Structure 1
Amino acid sequence: MILALMRIRAALLPYRTGLTPNERLELATSTGAEWRWCPESKILVPIKHAAGAVSASPWSSDSELALLVKTSGSSGGPKVVMLTRENLLVSAAAVNRRLGFGSDDVWLCCLRLSHIGGLAIIHRWALAGATLVLHEGFDAQAVAEDLQRCAVTHVSLVPPMLVRLLETGVAPPRSLRVVLVGGQALSPVLAERALDAGWPLFLTYGMTEATSQIATSAHALERVPADGRVGPLLPGVEIDRRDGFEGPSRLRVRGPMVMAGYANPRRVAGQGLAEGWFETSDLGGIDAAGELCVVGRADDVLVIGGNNVSLVRVDGLLRAAPGIADLAVVALEDTIWGHRLVVVYAGDLDEPAFERWCDGTLSGAERPRTFKRVPALPLLDSGKYDRIAIRALAL
């Protein structure tokens, strides 16, 4: 359906199951959607918009609108991104070249097809004329079995998926050349664990607004990445450098894979962009070797008791504790200190022991004040951490 709609110049907006009729209508109205596919009857039905709803204008871009995708909303309200046929094809071609993905290869897709991470794999597979192994969601044991059984060469994972795959104890098959890890920062501790087990890790950085990726490793990692280094930019991608800037700032991205804009009832291009530039919430820049470095988010540095505290640094330090399988650090407001840190984690270490381990390892301002042990951290359908649910646990 994805590929057929693109051929007839129609755009697809995937949405999760379980939406109420009112929620579906609100989504359709906010994006100017005109038809809905009914899986029960296998027909298209026209969407009846409320009286006074704004009608969509004819698409005015030079490239046909092909896909509308909701951002993950992992740390805030989601938006809907408009991607064109050119966005999808340019991105797929660039990633295929970077990762050496061709007609003889096999990509295992266990990422949701309602998110850009999974949808982008569909276009890479189709463009390469390769083989696709498609999973309905992520099951670590099923992925481990199919990696071997299907002679998989490429697989995409987010870090929580990599954790669960390593916990199965399965060895990487000889056919596997690329384990593409993205969606969120990969901790050095987890990276070292995977490399020691022989997994061929490639890092990637991107966002829905850039059709999945803007930078990807040029080769499999030989050592744990330092200082947030990801890899070279994909061809055609530009990163803005402000005059006189000597450190990390908000990344601004431009290129042929950057979105047409955020969806709106009239489907007018350009919303969320400034002269073609998209400004992210991530801090970073290009190093001397020409590789993208992402050092954290603009809102990840907090003032606690008069001290600047990086949540990225705290997260990395805490993951080195023995018996910790997974964790997330949450900053709650505090009337005295400005913020107090809570760590929500899964692992064998109990809360008092984890608290004792932090003594002498973290500075006073960096130390979490509360430790919340859970069986597993809640995840979104995309496999990323569900930041809203984790924050609720911390509260």
Structure 2
Amino acid sequence: MNIDPALKALSAALAGTGPAVEIAPDGTPGPVTSAGLAPETAAVVRTSGSTGTPKATMLGIDALAASSMATAMRLQGEGQWLLTLSPNYVAGLQVLVRSLYAGTRPWVMDLSAGFTPEAFTTAAGELTDRFRLVSLVPTQLHRLLTDPSPQTVQVLRRFDTILLGGARMSDDLRVAARKHSLRIVRTYGMSETCGGCVYDGVPLDGVQLRLDAGRISIGGDVLASGYLDNPELTDAHFSTGPDKDGTAGRWFLTEDLGEMHDGVLTVSGRADDVLITGGVKISAAAVAAAVETVPGVETALVAGVEDPEWGTRVGAAVVGPADDELICRTVREALGPAAVPRILVRLDALPLLANGKPDRLAVARALREAG
């Protein structure tokens, strides 16, 4: 992938001397000239569409600058980034943005054959800056740490920070990363917040958090301007209200549920991940976490399947050879009988979107077909 055209177009957009850009999956930039474009928009990023129709999110110059500066401050430095994700998604775009602000050139991993440990190891070994950074999703890190070669472990350890976001980090993956002394920083954010804005549960400088009926709201300068040509959806998620100092600020209402303890955020799942089966509320994320504690389970994704008797049946897509009875017994002991998966589907691997996140819609279809 040649990212020079994208870097050039993005640099002009951030400087206000060129039009807003949208970058294609192959790295090709294109101008955005819609009449509904917010004036300061530098880039338009489409959401992954993991649970619905993709949305075109408008990211402003000031928002991207605030995100880049806050990231550098939290990581205590700027350096060379390795691009392992398509730049049409916010995590990949931010590698380009942060590189531009840092005055460094990102190195691009060869993704022509998909994400492989061999291609990652080669690309990571070609970085030249003393301070090295990379953004990964858990699926990528899992592949890298499954029977890793000494060379792969060596290049992973060479990164000053490995940002890990886009999905939940399993306990097994956390143990594997700790075993190899990797410097992992778990991130939370989305396209509407210029990507990750909460690191290891703590918001970046200038970012504020609050809970609205259990749902996470995010405020601060990193917020997007809204959704391109969709004012109704913009109004549904973006609002103006008092910040912690009592002054007016903008807020984005996420689809995620969370808890705050001593200023540290814990994301407990998506609001639409709460399944009601037989009148009992079940957290799909909690069920998946319990399933992943079973020996032989590599990963799992849980979703609800409509049922005329129960309202919703709990379904689980599982990767790994673990025994079905052991999976059900483990979930029952951890969460109670209502949480036990009534539908179990075995997959060789979870279907993924282009950004490395699990394709929840595809898994839900597989569970419905099996049920």
- Give, in angstroms, the shift of residue 139 of structure 1: 2.4
1:100 to 2:76 alignment:
yes
Matches within 5 A, 1:196-215: 196-215=179-198
Q: Which has the higher strand share?
A: 2
Higher relative contact order (CA 8 A, sep 6+): 1
Alignment of 1:1-395 (within 5 A): 1-7=9-15, 8-16=17-25, 33-34=32-33, 56=35, 61=39, 64-102=40-78, 105-137=79-111, 138-150=115-127, 153-169=132-148, 170-173=152-155, 174-217=157-200, 230=201, 232-240=202-210, 249-264=214-229, 272-275=237-240, 276-288=250-262, 290-349=263-322, 351=324, 354=327, 360=333, 363-395=336-368
Name the residue aligned to 1:43: none
Q: 1 or 2, which has the higher helix percentage?
A: 2
Relative distance call for 1:363 and 1:60 in structure 2 (3 A) is closer
AA in 2 matched with 1:316 = A
Give how far 1:172 is off.
Answer: 4.2
Please give the alpha-carbon distance, in whole angstroms, between the structure 2 residues aligned to 1:178 and 1:385. 24
In the alignment, the residues of structure 2 paired with residue 294 and residue 359 of structure 1 have an alpha-carbon distance, to the nearest angstrom, of 23
Amino acid at match of 1:258: L
Superposition deviation, residue 362 in structure 1: 5.1
User: Which whole-Å CA distance do the structure 1 matches of 2:228 and 2:42 have between them?
Assistant: 12
CA-based RMSD of the aligned residues comes to: 2.8
**8 Å contact 1:154–1:177 — kept in the other structure?**
yes
Q: Note the C-alpha offset of 1:204.
A: 0.7
Choose 1 or 2 for highest CA Rg. 1
Q: Which runs of 5+ in 1 are unaligned?
A: 18-27, 35-54, 218-229, 243-247
Task: Give the drift of 1:351.
Answer: 4.8
Taking every aligned residue pair, what percent have the same amino acid on both sides?
A: 31
> TM-score if structure 1 supplies the norm length?
0.78
Distance change >3 Å, CA 136–CA 12, structure 1 → 2: farther
CA contact under 8 A between 1:282 and 1:297: conserved in structure 2? yes
- Give the Cα separation in 2 of the matches to 1:238 and 1:282: 15
| 147 and 336 in structure 1: CA distance in 2 versus 1, 3 angstrom threshold | same
Cα pair distance change 1:321/1:241, threshold 3 Å = closer
Task: Check the 8 A contact 2:211/2:258 in 1, yes or no.
Answer: no
Q: Secondary structure at the match of 2:12?
A: helix
Is 1:182–1:203's contact at 8 Å kept on the other side of the alignment? yes
Shift of 1:318: 0.3
Equivalent residues of 1:101, 1:128 under 8 A apart: no
Q: CA deviation at 1:10?
A: 0.7
- Tell me which stretches of 4 or more aligned residues in structure 1 moved more than 6 Å: none
Distance 1:187 1:265, change over 3 A: closer
Contact 1:140 1:168 in 2 (8 A): no
Q: Is the 8 A contact 2:219 2:252 kept in 1?
A: yes
CA contact (8 A) 1:189 1:316 kept: no
Q: What is the CA-CA distance between 1:348 and the residue it aligns to?
A: 3.0
